[in-house]
Amino acid sequence: MSRANQKGIALIMTLILIFVLSVMSISLMFISQTETWSSLNYRLTSQARDGAEAGINSAANYIVNSYTEPGGVGDPISAYTTNVSPVTYSGQPVILSANTNQASNYPVSSVQNAFNTSGKGSGSATAGNVTVNYNTYAKLLSMHTAFKPLGSTTNTTVQTWQIVSDGTIGTIRNAKVEVSAILEQHIIPTFNYAVFATASGCSALQFGGGGTTNSYDSSTYSGIGTPTYSATMGDVGTNGNLATNGSPTTINGDLFTPRTGVGVCTSNNVTAWTDSSGTINGSVVELPQSVNYPNPTAPIAPGTTNIDLKNKASDCAGMTGCSYDTPSCAAGDFCLAPGPCPLPSSVTGNGFYPNLTLHGNVHLSAGCYDIDTLAENGGGTIIIDSGPAIVNIAGLDSSGNPLTGTVIALTGNSVSNPGLVPMNFQIIYGGSGTINLKGGSNASGVVYAPNATFSFNSANADWYGAIVGNTLTDLGHTAIHYDRKLQNKAYTLGPWMLDSFTWKKD
């Protein structure tokens, strides 16, 4: 082969290699730039979504903490159409908006303006030093007003809102993310547990000395003997810690608490359960958040005169509706006439009674009673003739200030509710005083006192029903029998919940 024919081949190969290397370099640069833009897009999308979620939380915070629900002067509920979803006003969905793409038609301008302030905003993202803006609107999906929580004298409005928030970033590359969530307040059973202690610290709930829980069904009880017990559904709950000690102390059900862990409880480390030879025949269930029981409506102060109901008609002096040993009452017993529910805004007429001490049997019937304090001394028994008999405890001293001492002391065989239907005898108390009860074979009722210190001070006794208190102690071998029918007999408002999150990128 002639060498002359190969002249210039090195130059050609060099040019080809340079071309290949250039293509590879350009490809690498393009890939690197694509990854950079992809990373930037992901960061901007994440930041925009964070901004949108901030808008959701800001709008929810306004609705939960600042918003005034319809029903007041100038905003009657009758102006809304509530049997459709979403709720409408003047034929249009009810909307609060801080988003220029969605008009607001809420009928109260002050609410519109307040939401407009809360429903939009901006903030700086740390990464990239960009500004994230959010704009929200809220649509009223449902509104119910025919609901009266236990202990309340007025109907409560229950709403469900859909909140939609746009998070936007305007830079060399824009980003926009829409997040939607449902904000709703659930209606929950008031008495979902045999006992619930609202306190959040150690020993909020104490069982010892053989104290126990189980359950029964009042609808199947014949009224003769003892009902059939189940070693399940005797659940207990607390926002704090359960302390158990002493065999055969037994919780025949689950423990519900937002706390976790089993062991020593301290103020800096509140565990779910501190056990010394007690038993939970179920599970320790972690609640997603603390349970808040609303304060009951304060009763009309019936006066603080001390009245002893002993053994003569004159013991009823000064109290309308009190009778003794009459044809309409049991022989040798007292009868207290109830007033309507709710009681009128007056301290006259049936249903208003001051500080009562029971030395003899006292009969209650269906209706409402406002009583300042209630005590048993000398074998007296409250006998439920018909129900529901609702006892609202005021718990005030002579100056009208809330008592911090004992407001209820029923320490003998002091309650007889023969049908063992707990809702037939209701004790409602909103103060922080002390309640002492002693059970018996016919002791049945519910106690709703979310701020009170509560104790069973009886040995080998029974209580059929359920209790809500701030702290609760059962150290005297009292058996608390939870009536499973209570799960659909009384209700209260649960906490607001944000759920059903969805999002999309525009």
118 and 211 assigned to the same domain: no
Mean pLDDT of the chain: 87
pLDDT for residue 147 is more than 90: no
- Position 33 scores a pLDDT of 53
- Position 268 scores a pLDDT of 92
Instruction: Please report which confidence band the pLDDT of residue 364 belongs to, taking 50, 70 and 90 as the band edges.
Output: very high
318 and 220 assigned to the same domain: yes
Q: What's the burial of 369, exposed, middle or buried (CB within 10 Å: 0-12/13-18/19+)?
A: buried
- Poorest-pLDDT segment among 7-11, 26-30, 294-298, 390-394: 26-30
Length of the chain counted residue by residue: 506
> 226 to each of 191, 201, 306, 441, 442, how far by Cα in Å?
22, 36, 37, 8, 9
Does 385 map to a domain? yes
Instruction: Please report which confidence band the pLDDT of residue 467 belongs to, taking 50, 70 and 90 as the band edges.
Output: very high
Does 416 map to a domain? yes
Does 462 map to a domain? yes
Q: How many CB atoms lie within 10 A of CB 277?
A: 11
132 and 206 assigned to the same domain: no
444 and 297 assigned to the same domain: yes
222 and 351 assigned to the same domain: yes
Which structural domain, as residue segments, surrounds residue 481?
A: 195-489
pLDDT for residue 248 is more than 60: yes
Does 254 map to a domain? yes
The mean per-residue pLDDT over the stretch 98-120 comes to 89
- Position 315 scores a pLDDT of 92
210 and 140 assigned to the same domain: no
Does 170 map to a domain? yes
- Poorest-pLDDT segment among 50-54, 72-76, 128-132, 160-164: 128-132
- Position 172 scores a pLDDT of 59
Regarding predicted confidence, which is higher, 5 or 385? 385
151 and 235 assigned to the same domain: no
pLDDT for residue 440 is more than 90: no
CA–CA distance, 77 with 396 (Å, rounded to integer): 36
- Poorest-pLDDT segment among 69-78, 182-191, 205-214, 247-256: 69-78
Regarding predicted confidence, which is higher, 15 or 279? 279
79 and 167 assigned to the same domain: yes
Does 12 map to a domain? no
147 and 104 assigned to the same domain: yes
Overall pTM surpassing 0.85 (yes/no): no
199 and 118 assigned to the same domain: no
> 399 to each of 300, 303, 351, how far by Cα in Å?
14, 10, 22
User: 399 forms bridges with which residues in the sheet?
Assistant: none
pLDDT for residue 247 is more than 90: no
105 and 249 assigned to the same domain: no
Does 8 map to a domain? no
- Position 132 scores a pLDDT of 82
Q: How many domains does the chain have?
A: 2
Does 4 map to a domain? no
369 and 461 assigned to the same domain: yes
